[in-house]
Amino acid sequence: MNTSTLILAALVNPALFWGGAAAMGAPIIIHILAKRRFRRIRWAAMSFLMDADKQNRKRVRIEELILLALRCLAVLLIGLLVSRPFIQPSGVSALLGGTQRTERIFLLDDSFSMGYQSNDRTLIEDMKSSVRNLLQRLRDHAPHDTVTLLRTTAPDDPIVEGAILDDRQYELLLARLEALQPTQQSQSVERCMSSVRKLLDGDDGVLSCVLYVISDFQEVDWLTAAAATGEGNATSATLAAELTDWKNDERDVRVVLVDVGDDSPQNVAITDLQSMQRQVVTGVSAQLEATVQNFGTSDADALELQISSDASGAGSVPTDPIPAGRKVAAAISTVIQRAGDASITVSANPDRLPIDDTRYLALEATDGVRVLIVNGEPSTDSYLDEVHLLTTALRPEGDVFSGNQVDVIDESALDGASLDDYHLVILCNLYRVSEPIADDLHRFVFAGGGLAIFLGDQVSDPMAYNATLYRDGKGLLPASLQSIVRAKESGVHLAPSDFLHPVVRVFSGQVNPFLDRVNFFQYFATEPATFEPDEQAAEKSAREPTTVIARYDDDDATPAIMERGYGRGRVLLFTSSCDLEWNDWARDASYVIGMLEVTQHLARAGDANRSTTVGQPLTFALNPSDYEPQATLRLPGYPQQEDEDVVASTDGSSGMEISWLHTNQAGIYSFQLHRRDGRSVVRRFAVNVDANESDLTPATEEDLRRSLDGLKVEYIEGVAMKTDDTDSGRKELWPMLLVAAMGLLMIEQAMAWRFGRG
């Protein structure tokens, strides 16, 4: 039987029905009493009539039974009429399924989007109402079926498993349901389907299953696979495969989707918070950027973002108005006063979904960006020295700290220098770079360090540069060096390709004299590196294609400034000199700003693994020679949450690792580490909610059915399920019963008249 077409019947007044059923005995009793009223008296004159009666007795009895049946049925119809029977449409019938014993699995969405407030109620409260209604109906119509409650954020850990709806377990189900609250986690529909499959595989006796999914059915959760691949059936293969593989000719599974989401949700969220600098320096303004996104269909007003820090106090910054479906960036400046880990919190006034109105950032502040400048043409005369102007620009004398700590060495001291102590290395007009030094620079940049290369008249053998640093396009140099170009007497100017790049940002703007004031007289012609088609896939993970940031405005549009990523680091090539020998840039104020931007852009980035999402583990390595294995963790809920003791694990080698798996709350997690020299170090991590979950756009019924293609699916709007009105959608039968009763009485009278005449 196709259970999707079943019709459920019920009574408004069941007691009246049973009273009418009992009243069916009245005609029978009257019939019996009427027969007992006559006594048999033998009378000779009646003998002839008795013989005739024997011939008609069978016919009369049949007629009496027919009339008796009609009268009993009439009484029953009158009882049904006053008890007001009704039927539920097939949608609710499909909720309950057929008559065989069925495994009922409820998949309850407890992701943080269910905390959205719609009509003064959160979606999870609407979900609870829907589940209570379903459980009550199951208890009335399928009390022997087993019920399992799962959460979408932890489907492998059932709330209740295999419960029978007797009084005790029914109350337990309701209590567990009432205690359910939105988590701060996102959900994985694929993982949920796998967990349902494991439950079904674990019970060989299950032949029929109904999976109830009660959710707001966000597009980001249900249609991610199709959106990522661009194929309409990608999600179907992912979501439906687990259950379609389970069902066969003997086993059946159906999915009931109960949508309790808002039809037009409006939500504004802070989706990102990051430092715009690779190194944050104490005492120097740190530039942060918060991204605020409007996921709704209506424009949002400007927000006032509140900024707080454990190291620099509090403040606020405004945002621009946020159009529907768009995002805006808010620039934030803050100053970290002490070296070490710091935390930043940015929040907006709570809206209908408060959990994503706060964002956290953990970062490491250092005492300065450590820069190593290698001087290829040193001189005792500061005006003839290759790097004097560059050093002054990066670390000028005075009370105001630029944020850079600069060390200068000559070319000979570079061999054997400890590059790991620096964030950035700058090569200035070196005669050549030996193979051992080139190998050290390759390792330094690949591990995340920055490298800037200025050329000049000392680079007399460009082929030697190409051999050690370019390496046929597989080395550090973004381009191979060709020959020196001498410009016309007045020089050439820069023509930036991307005014947003930090190196040429100072030249941006419609009215900007820098482009005309800075002149370049000599520079190297180059050939930027490109990928061969057969090597791009294998090599791109190690090095990126060259980007030309600026060109000269000569006839050949010769590249002037180029960049490429290499491993975790970056390399910047200036085809002219860093002093006044080949250009006059160092005479212009933009030189200082540009060099400071270069330093921040190229410097080794701080610890990148300081931020994760709720539900993801926090893991970091420690040097066992420096740190004790015991650590103390302060959770975001402190002081309501007590500190936790954490012990580092070892893998049998010299490594040691701290790991914390229970990141079920957004906020700052602070590990207090104990050094073997007696000092304590605090390492902070930021845990944020998944920004994708802030997109509340609901999937359509067609999309949901397509995502579960291959399964029998019932889709129910949450409106009918949110309330406790059990009459919703029912159809009462009393008008038809009234007509049937009147017709039956008329038939009884007509047949009685006819039988009487006979």
Domain holding 654: CATH number?
A: 2.60.40.10
519 and 565 in a single domain? The answer is yes
636 and 537 in a single domain? The answer is no
Three-class DSSP labels, 134-160: HHHHHHHHCCCCEEEEEECCECCCCCE
What percent of the chain is predicted at pLDDT more than 70? 82
Q: How far is CA 109 from CA 103, 125, 178, 212, 214, in A?
A: 19, 11, 14, 11, 6
Which tens digit of pLDDT belongs to each residue from 249-307?
A: 788 899 999 999 998 999 999 999 999 888 888 888 888 999 999 999 999 999 999 99
72 and 141 in a single domain? The answer is no
Element (H, E) at 252: strand 252-259
Quote the pTM value.
0.75
Give the mean pLDDT of the chain. Answer: 84
Q: Calculate the CA dihedral of residues 515, 520, 525, 528 and round it to 10 degrees.
A: -30
Which tens digit of pLDDT belongs to each residue from 537-593?
A: 444 456 788 999 999 999 999 999 999 999 989 999 999 999 999 999 999 888 998
685 and 646 in a single domain? The answer is yes
Ramachandran area for residue 628 (φ above 0: left; ψ -120 to 50: alpha; else beta): beta
Ramachandran area for residue 755 (φ above 0: left; ψ -120 to 50: alpha; else beta): alpha
Locus of tokens 């119509």: 141
**Strand 494-496's sheet: what is its strand order?**
404-410, 369-375, 424-428, 450-454, 569-574, 559-566, 547-552, 494-496
Domain holding 398: CATH number?
A: 3.40.50.880
pLDDT at 91: 42
pLDDT at 654: 63
499 and 577 in a single domain? The answer is yes
Q: Calculate the CA dihedral of residues 552, 442, 415, 435 and round it to 10 degrees.
A: -90
Which tens digit of pLDDT belongs to each residue from 78-115?
A: 777 777 676 654 444 445 554 456 899 999 999 999 99
Of 602, 622, 645, the domain-final residue: 602
CA atoms within 13 A on the CB side of 119: 11
Name which of 161-165, 223-227, 305-309, 473-477 the model is least confident about.
223-227
Residue type at position 542: A
- Cβ(35)–Cβ(113) under 8 Å? no
Of 602, 622, 654, the domain-final residue: 602
Which tens digit of pLDDT belongs to each residue from 320-357?
A: 999 999 999 999 998 888 888 999 999 999 999 999 99
Residue 639 is assigned to a structural domain of this protein: yes
Closest CA to 570 of 424, 466, 374, 378: 424
Of 567, 602, 637, the domain-final residue: 602
Name which of 60-64, 428-432, 610-614, 687-691 the model is least confident about.
60-64
496 and 629 in a single domain? The answer is no
Residue 120 or residue 609, greater confidence: 120
pLDDT at 77: 77
CA 610, CA 620: separation in Å to the nearest integer? 9
Number of neighbours of residue 359 by Cβ within 10 angstroms: 26
Mean pLDDT score, 237-247? 78
pLDDT at residue 227 greater than cutoff 50: no
Which tens digit of pLDDT belongs to each residue from 666-708?
A: 999 999 999 999 999 999 999 999 999 999 999 999 999 988 8
Number of neighbours of residue 705 by Cβ within 10 angstroms: 17
CA 370, CA 735: separation in Å to the nearest integer? 90
Residue 17 is assigned to a structural domain of this protein: yes
Mean pLDDT score, 439-450? 93
Residue 182 or residue 402, greater confidence: 182
pLDDT at 515: 78
pLDDT band for position 230 (50/70/90)?
A: very low
Mean pLDDT score, 698-727? 75
Closest CA to 407 of 429, 422, 428: 422
Residue 48 is assigned to a structural domain of this protein: yes
20 and 156 in a single domain? The answer is no
pLDDT at 497: 86
Residue type at position 645: D
490 and 545 in a single domain? The answer is yes
**Which residue range(s) make up the domain with 8?**
3-89+732-757
Number of neighbours of residue 445 by Cβ within 10 angstroms: 25
Beta bridge partners of 644: 633
509 and 640 in a single domain? The answer is no
pLDDT at 718: 67
Domain count, the chain: 4
Closest CA to 214 of 187, 235, 234: 187
Please enumerate in sequence order all residues whose Cβ is within 8 A of that of 204, keeping only pairs 6 or more positions apart, or say none.
none
Mean pLDDT score, 159-168? 90
Closest CA to 260 of 90, 92, 110, 91: 110
pLDDT band for position 382 (50/70/90)?
A: confident
CA 415, CA 507: separation in Å to the nearest integer? 37
Domain holding 192: CATH number?
A: 3.40.50.410
- Cβ(551)–Cβ(558) under 8 Å? yes
DSSP-derived letter for residue 543 is B
**Strand 285-294's sheet: what is its strand order?**
268-275, 285-294, 327-335
CA 75, CA 27: separation in Å to the nearest integer? 9
Residue 214 is assigned to a structural domain of this protein: yes
Residue 410 is assigned to a structural domain of this protein: no
What angle do the packed helices 25-36 and 47-83 form, to 10 degrees? 160
Mean pLDDT score, 433-438? 93
DSSP 568-634: TEEEEEESS-SSSSSB-GGGSHHHHHHHHHHHHHHSPP--STTEEETTSPEEEEE-TTTEEEEEEEE
Residue 424 is assigned to a structural domain of this protein: no
528 and 582 in a single domain? The answer is yes
pLDDT at residue 415 greater than cutoff 50: yes
pLDDT at 114: 94
201 and 75 in a single domain? The answer is no
What percent of the chain is predicted at pLDDT more than 90? 50
Locus of tokens 């609710």: 92
Residue 350 is assigned to a structural domain of this protein: no
471 and 572 in a single domain? The answer is yes
Residue 465 is assigned to a structural domain of this protein: yes
Q: Which of 3-17, 130-144, 456-470, 492-506 has the highest mean pLDDT?
A: 456-470
- Cβ(501)–Cβ(549) under 8 Å? yes
CA 446, CA 373: separation in Å to the nearest integer? 19
pLDDT at residue 730 greater than cutoff 90: no
pLDDT band for position 50 (50/70/90)?
A: low
